[in-house]
Amino acid sequence: MRTAALLTTLLSAAATAAEIESTFIAEHLKDPMELTVAPDGDVYVVEREGRVLRLRPSTGGIFEIGKIEVTALRSNDPDSPYAREDGILGITLDPGFATNHRLYIYYSHPKELMNRLSRFELKDGVLDLASEKVLIDIPTERRDRVCHHGGSLTFGPDGLLFLSTGDNTNPFESDGYAPIDDREGREHANAMRSAGNTNDLRGKILRIRPTEDGYEIPEGNLFPKGTAKTRPEIYVMGCRNPFRMSVDPKTKVIYWGEVGPDAGKDSEKGPRGHDEVNQAKGPGNFGWPFVIANNKPYPIVDFNTGKPGVMTDPAAPKNPSTHTTGLKDLPPATSAFIWYPYAKSEEFPVMGEGGRNAMAGPVFYYDANRKYNLLGKEDDHTLLSYEWSRGKIFKAKLGESEKLASLEVLMSDLVHPMDFEMAADGTMWLLEYGTEWWFNTNGRVRRLLPADGNKAPVITAAREGESFTATASDPDGGDVTIEWWLTQGAHETKLGTGPALAVSTAGGTELRAVAKDAKGATTVARIALVEEQTGPALQLELADKDAKRGFGEEIAFTVKGQADPAKTVVRARYIPPTGHDAGGPQFTADIEKLVISKQCFACHQIEKASVGPAYLDVAMKYRTDEGALERLRAKLKTGGAGVWGEVPMPPQVAVNDGEGETIVKSILGLSSGMAETRGSAQGMLKLSAQPEGVQGGGAWEIIAEAPGYRAARTRIGAK
C-alpha cells in the first residue's frame, strides 16, 4: 500500500496572526536548483545533473520534459576537484510563455569550459533541444576546486532578463579571507580576475533584453556601451556567489543573497566572513573581493609573503591585479542591505548564528483582489529573504526609500530552502534542496498558502495485479471524489474516477489517485509502475556465510563489481538480539534534537558524506584514539580544515562547551560494535571487540560500499 505523497502541515508564522498551510507537491527530487511558475499554475524545476521537470499541482503529476547534457560532479567520483558546483544552475520562463512556450536555462557546457545561457521552446509539452538559441557563453574554470557559479535567472517587470554569476574562484586557499592571490599559476584562487574585473562577466549580475536573434543592451547598466575595458551587460559587479535573486515588481529594485567567505574572526588579512542580502536600486559595485558586509575593507595581501599591504578604500577601490583585463579604478563600493557572520550579528541579531547561505525571495505586496495573500495588509512591501543553512524565511519590512524597517522570522525548520517564488495568484512556491550538499534524492517543492481552516483529504492507494483501489476521507466530514491519472512520459491521461480502477496501465510509469474535497483541496497517493534505475550494484560474498561469528573473529570477504577497490569500504555492524538499531547507526532522540538545533546536519549526515564527513567515518577514524574527545571538542570552537578535505568547518559559535562534549561523545559512540576495512575488494575483516554491557547473540550486518554503486548488504549470525 502506498500512502499519500502530499503531506499538509500548519506552520505558525512568527510575525502574523495567520497560519501558513504547507503542502508538499513533489518529493524525491535530485539536487533541485531553481523553480519557476507558469501562468497556468504548472511549476518548472531544474536539477543539478540535467533534468528539467514540470509539476502539475492539480493532478500531482511530475514529468521529465527534457534532459540537458551538462558538466557536473557525479556520484561515482564525489571527491573530484573538477566541476564542484557545475550543472544546470537556473531557469526562468519568458514573460510571453503562455503563447510562445519559451524558457531560459543557464547550464555548464558538457564539453567546453563555459557556462551557457540559452533559450529553449517547448513543443507538445516537451523541451525541444533543437530549438536552443544561445544568448551568452561565459568562459569558466573548473579545475582545482573552483566554486561559485551563481546562476539565478529572473525577469523584471519591464521584460529585462537578469542573470547572476559567481566569481568562479577557489575559496579554500586564502584562509577564509579575500581570494586575491595574484601569483602566476594561481588564477583559480584570484577573484580580482573575475568579480573585481570590469571586463569579465563572472561575479556579476547581468541585465539584458532578449531578442529573436540574441539580446540587446538596455540603457542604464553600470558601464555604457563602448566604454573601454568593460562589458556593457554588467548591471552589478563585485559579487562572490550571488545565489537566488528577485526583482521588486513595482520598484524594479533587485535583491539577492550573497554567500560569503569562511573566516571566523577578524585578522590582519581582513574582516571575518559575512553573508549578505543585497539591494540594488540601480547599477553598482558591491565590492568583492575588496570589501564585504557594510563596506568592511580587505588589505591587498602579498601571497608570496603572506603580509597585508595597502588597505582598500571603499569609496575608491582599485584593482591592482596583473590578471585583470578591466579598469584599475573601480566604482565606489555599495554596502550590503543585511549582513551577518557565523556568530550572532550585532546589527541583525534575529538572523541567529551558525552556518550561512543567504538567499533572496520575492517582494510581497498585499492585494485584496488577488486570490491569496500569504501575509497581512500590514506586511505590504516586504522582502522575503531566506537562509539555506539555517532553514528559515525572514520578513524584511521595507520602509521609505526601500530602507529596512523591521526584520523578523517568518518560518523555521526548513530543509535547505533553495528557491522561493510567488505566482500571480499569490501562491508561494518553496524549493527545498534536500539534506545533503550533493546527490540528494529527497529534494521537494512546497506550496505555501494562507490557512483557511479546511483540512485536505486523506487517501491511500493499493495495487493487486492490474486492479487498483483507493480509500479516501475528509477530516472535516465532507464528500471526497477520487480521480485516477496515469503518467506516460511527459504527459498524463485520466483513466477514471471512483475508489476502484481495473484498466491497463501499459506504457505508464506512475499511477496517481487524486482525492478532492468540496472546497477543492487535493491529496495524491502514488503507485510506481516501474522500478527506478539507481545505478549498478555491488555484490558481497562471505566465506562460510552460515557460520556464526563472535566478537574479534575474522571473516573472509570478496566484493564483486566494477568499483575501484581503492575506494571500497567493507563494514561490519553488530546488532543485539533485541533488534535495536537494526536500521543502522543512529543518535538517541535527545541527541538528534540537539544536533538538529545546532544545524549540524546542514553539513554532515550519520552514514553518508556531505560537504563534511559522515559522522560514522569520524567515529571509525578516531575509535582507538584516547585523545580524540578533547581535540574534537577544541576543533568545534576553533574550526578547521584539511583532515577531511579543503572545505573548512567554521567555528561552531552556537555550541557551548557542554553541548560540544555531548555531541562529540555521541559521534564517537557510533563506532561501538563497528569494524571496517578500506581499500580492498578482497581480504579479511576483523569484527569488533565486545562492547561493554553486551551479552552476545544477535547478528552481524556486513556492508560493502563504493562511490557510484548501490551498497551490498548481508547478515550473519553472531555468537
Quickly list DSSP for 112-155.
SSEEEEEEEEEETTEEEEEEEEEEEEEE---STT-B-----EEE
Nearest C-alpha neighbor of 186 from the set 141, 231, 237: 141
Answer for the pair 254, 152: CB distance below 8 angstroms, yes or no.
Answer: no
CA–CA separation, 534 vs 563, rounded Å? 15
Burial 492-505 (b: 16+ CB within 10 A, else e): beebeeeeebeeeb
Asked if 407 and 337 count as a contact pair (C-beta separation under 8 A), the reply is no
Tell me which H or E stretch contains 689: none
Q: Is 604 labelled as part of a ligand binding site?
A: yes
Q: How distant is the alpha carbon of residue 601 from its chain centre? A: 13
Q: Give backbone dihedrals phi and psi of 62, rounded to 5 degrees, phi first.
A: -125, 115
Under DSSP, the state recorded for 332 is P
Consult the annotation and say whether 416 binds a ligand.
no
Q: Which of 715, 632, 711 is nearest to 669 (CA)?
A: 632
Cell of 377: 495588509
The secondary structure of residue 4, as a DSSP letter, is: B
- State the Cα–Cα distance between residues 245 and 420, nearest whole angstrom: 9
Positive or negative torsion for Cα 14, 17, 19, 20: negative
The Cα 121–Cα 130 span in angstroms is 9
Separation of alpha carbons 122 and 577, rounded Å: 57
Q: Which three cell numbers stand for residue 146?
A: 573552483
List of residues 6+ apart from 233 with CB closer than 8 A: 136, 201, 204, 206, 207, 208, 217, 221
Q: 341 to each of 351, 437, 652, how far by Cα in Å?
A: 9, 21, 12
Q: What is the CA radius of gyration of the chain?
A: 27
Cα distances (Å, whole numbers) of residue 639 to 29, 274, 293: 32, 16, 21
Any known ligand binding at 649? yes
Q: 186 near 144, Cβ under 8 Å? A: no
User: Where are the strands (E) in 500-651, listed by range?
Assistant: 500-501, 510-517, 522-528, 539-542, 554-560, 569-575
CA distances from 306 to 181, 273, 459 (A): 10, 18, 64
CA distance 429 to 420: 6
Binding site for heme c: which residues?
600, 604, 649
Binding site: which residues?
600, 604, 649
